[in-house]
Structure 1
Amino acid sequence: MASVPLTAGDPVRVGRYRLLARLGQGGMGRVYLGRSPGGRAVAVKVVREALLWDEGFRLRFAREVEAARRVTGFCTAAVVDADPSGNPAWLATEYVPGLSLQEAVTRHGVWPEQAVRGLGAALAEALAAVHAADLVHRDLKPSNVLLAPDGPRVIDFGISAAAGDTALTETGTVIGTPGFIPPEQLRHEGVGPAGDVFALGAVLAYAAAGVGPFGGGPSQAVNYRVVHENPDLRGLAPALAAVVARCLAKDPRERPAVPWLLNELGHPEPADGDRHTYRGAPAPDGGEESDGGVATAGWMPAPVVDSATRMRDETPTEPMPRAEDGRPEPPADGAPEPPSGTPPRARRRRLRTALATATALAVVVTGVVVWRVSADEEKDDSRPAAPANVEEIWSRSLDEGQTMAMATERAVYLENKERHEITALSVAGGSDRWARRVKASDVSGESDYVKNTVGDDIEITAVSGGLLYYGSGQYLYALDADNGDPLWKHMDDSFHPSPVAVGGAAYAHMNAFFYVLDPRTGDELWKHVFEGLTSDDVSVTGDTLLTHGKKELIAVNTRTRKETWTYEADSEVETAPVAAGGKVYFGTKDGALYAVDAASGDEAWRGTFEGELWDGRLGGGAGGPEVADGNVYFENDGHVSAFDADTGRVLWRKKQKTDEVTSLTVVDDTVLVHDSEGYLSALDADSGKTRWREPVDVDDDADFGIVGNTVFVELNGRLTAYRAAT
């Protein structure tokens, strides 16, 4: 599991464990790499402070800690310590050095059949241990499977529950991750061991194909496919697909039991002491011993084992130094110990960002920045200080429940999901342009799925062609983006697409089709269905709509309403297609940038990353290449590159001081780059030289968005706009 350094807001010690780095975070709290006084590495989950005011949560957490202590087995991470009544409450488990399955597939690609079978056997063994303790995991997914050198471990029992206990879950609450939640749970029909078997099948499909069996996109759309549609298992070998299909049966009674899966996928057989192999998944070289005599799982792909081995070797194991009085030494930087006995501070919400910008002759939700928002919490009015090269324009507090959803060059749009309110602010001064309580679907007469899973909260999905689109219940609504006047609603079966308006038509794209609406009335004009699953990414240039499947870039003529060409890349397409100057540019999972002729679909050129520059992960990135002044700017994790748009010649490449670039935009002669550490950099567009690098949202509870050179930071319930120097 990859780690990042601690920041000023992180504790330095929890219980008897010194915290060394942050491993990740989720809805319940943050997870840290810790070290015991004796040098043992542990993963310490610290509960989010806002939850500690809820006595019901404390009771649930204490009961789940006690239940998790009962889980033992080769393929689980054992609980070693906990304090569910502390401030903060925390849980320490065995530290598993290695990538998550999600990271492994992203970095190194999909797994061969034999490796997937070995993985399935190991996970079945872990579920057997969980179910033997009379528990149900309820959140088995690729990020909760860690791959150590000696095999996988299932982690995160933070939302597990006793198999027969319904009192620990609020009525109507759906817990889990879309695509891995079983249909019976979405229908509120109960949770049992068969639900974990469903999740296991989805995890194996992900390992074999690189995508979940029910595709991606908005959670409502994924949940709908789980309940109503068959899984897509075309990327799996036939024999493996047959096993996975049984796991994914809609009726939990038709799913296989865990012992059957162990026998079918490969039962563990002892080999040379404590090592394990799995029938049907032998080590490639006939052995399993790694350097240092530590057992390895020989069926795992070699690059995954290598990554896990390096992480294991880098794990600190020496005992903590002690001062003369026998107490552990304080941290080297003199950071104070966390106070004891004090009430928890209110933790602010964390926003998630994804950037979509327009380029010449291309429309990708034109000029819009999209924020994904987690649950609202208490807030204070402290404000971030402006860095030297980032000038504050305005700042204003947000109402309770109000969050930023999108911004264009003219307006910032706020939404209050539960109160059904949308507010438009002026980008120039932050003042209200208009505010409106909008319509929301009446779901009282709808199915249980719509009432309990979809609900009637509102969600802004796009601003395009002068309209603001939002979804609620089973409908897509449109407002006039300039004054907030309601225009129409369209039945979209709760999919809530993000329409792209071009030339008097609004193209609403889903995972296997798109339909075209009249933006004046909301009437459906026509519809196009693809043969297989496609991405939600869509661009429209002239008479051509562009989207992509797994490896294919697909062009549809919007006049003839027929597919005109398909181009197949060597790796999975990872970014939205961007059209400019008669070419279409897109990036793939292996880090390559492609240029394809927009009229014929012929490849014009491709740029690849090799040697030290190459990294198989593409990261969240800028969501697509940026085309400006005859150049194409592209990021591959921490690298930013500039290519000649016509020839593909590399103009420059620049490694950033971070592992991942999270957004990239071009303004005049400047490339503005935001990174995963919360810094904004300005690069010279011609040479790639860094002009400046400033912190903008290094506080982990802040978030960032950018339109042109206007930067938005939301922190502590306050939205602040800055202007970046270019």
Structure 2
Amino acid sequence: MNPLGTGDPLRLGPYRLLGVLGEGGMGKVYLGRDGAGRTSAVKVLRPELAHDAHMAQRFVREAQAARAVTGPGVARVLGAWTEGGRPWIATEFLAGPTLDEAVERHGPLGEPAVRALGAALARTLRDIHATGLVHRDLKPSNIVLTSQGPRVIDFGIARPEHGLTLTTTGAIPVTPGYGAPEQTLGQRVGPPGDVFSLGAVLVYAASGRRAYDGAHVAAVQYQVVHGEPDLTGLTPALHALVAPCLAKDPAQRPVPDAVAAAFAPPKGAERAWRRGPLADAIAERERAARRLATHTGVPDGAPAPSRRRFVAGLAAGGTAALAAAGGGAWWLLREDGGGKGPREKEDTPVPRPWDAKRLTADGYREGEAPQPLWGPVDVAILAPPPLPLPDRDLVLMPDSDGLAAFRVADGQRRWGVESQPRSGSVLLPGGLVATGGKAPGAQGRLLVLDSATGREKWSDDIRVIAVIATDGTAVYFTTGRTSDQEEIVAFDLSSRSVRWSVRMPVKTYSQDSARGVAADGRLVLSGFDGDVVALDTRTGRQAWRLAGQRPRRALAPAVSGGVVHLGGRTLTALRLTDGKELWSVAAETPVNVGYGGWSSPVLDGDALYASDGDQVTRRNRHDGSLDWARRLPGGANAELGPAAVQGGSVWVGHGKSVSALHKDTGDPAWTWTRDGIAEWKLAGAGNRIFLWHQNRLTAMPVF
């Protein structure tokens, strides 16, 4: 959120304005708060447009349309004023991601959730049509998912059922691929037009693909009018339900009541927004909205809260989307910002009770390492373990007996369970951790624990060799009796069953399993053979492959914003969907057996950190441009494992030492040296850096 500027009103009706959520060509949207402390989104027509008869008419029509629809599937209008020089509409503040954001972040919805979505939206369209209106702009970005179900927003181009378009053919305000053929052609648009849009929305929800797509707008519009929809990825049952909604002839499309009846979801289908990763995202945004309503009060004359603080409070580590009816995209807060504020330079975590205090400038001496916060604590394991895994007030590490949890405050052991020490573990939504549990034979079983207590929540007897990754909807792990028979398995968390299992597409080694990351519909695997492969998380099919990136050493990929970043022979950014190279920087050091080349990259907001030999660099993750490069003290080669970033520091292990650098400049702060040249494992969280080295775990402070 941006602060109020010159010319912005301080109050509109009963709402005191706290800041600017966003703006577009037609108006601004403010965060408002009434005398009872309730927050709202207040949309205001620009002063210079208030005298434009067409714009004023459209704004008044939007207010009237939004107030006329009172069903549970739309955001409530709290107030409106359409007279005078500053017309405004105030709507309830909805907390939750839009449908397009949910699909992008968590993947397509399963069939039960699509049925629940279709039935709910059809009932909402019925309520809209009952008022004599046609929405005319139903699309994924105009649907907000809340804990109570989907809500339709933005009545900006809603019209009476008998109304014709106001502009010429081809210039109508319709979103390509979602507007009906008659709307695209500038003809009369009635309720069947909204049903067509509903069909296109459900195709996207179920498959993550547009029903109609093309290289440019004209191509998409041609497909809508003359082509057939792409229903790839829909189950046979959903195909039969959605196809009639996309009929070219409006008279052949079902009415909303029929759609709602046909889509009748199975019992419990609404759990999609009440349980699981999507529900967790919704719940976090609702908690943030409640905090906002309680704590955003700004005394008269005080400056408005900064956008950084606002976004940090709402996002709590993820993308925040808080929307209200009457112009959805205008007040969605996305990663690229809802206003004109500067791009965030680095991640800004929300303070938590277990966080340590950062060192102040007078709390340490440059060149002199401070004392550890705690440790070293013995954490013995036969082979180099995975990275320390911070989880709220605990840090998880495998030891000789299995998996152990230590308090981040003092290093005291909280709990330990028998598991396969080399299997690895991943954090799941709802305070859970998945690992490979002990089982007869060499392989373990899939074991899911309460991460706070270590108690078993559930398990499955499927064989587990190494847990690789999770995207919140599934756990991805390797299985098989021998390396030649090794497979990668996607285990669905909602159904607790195998989603798919395929032959492992990269080579592994007994002491060095594949490294991987799962996000945005792709599982990216880096193998011992140097190949990097991306699999479709829905089907297990290979999406793309990059060969020979780092032979004899699997390097962990890093993903952000639909881009995967890789170390090895090159420091490379690839488009996650199809593997297209976006930028690449060759390593200066030669790649030998187990050594050389770029390290695994580490992301921190827009910054990317990686080491090449004894040189640590920071680059812009979007284009690879260099911010700074620094040589490590003593010229020692950096550890090939990832560095760690926390607070204002970046930490890199090398030989007997680990060095802390100022992350904005690369200038060395200090070097901490231990006995013995061995591999370092580093992770940062809660203003601490956790270091594993020679079977010992230590927590260090950061500045």
- What's the TM-score, normalizing by structure 1? 0.47
Q: Max radius of gyration: which structure? A: 2
- What's the TM-score, normalizing by structure 2? 0.48
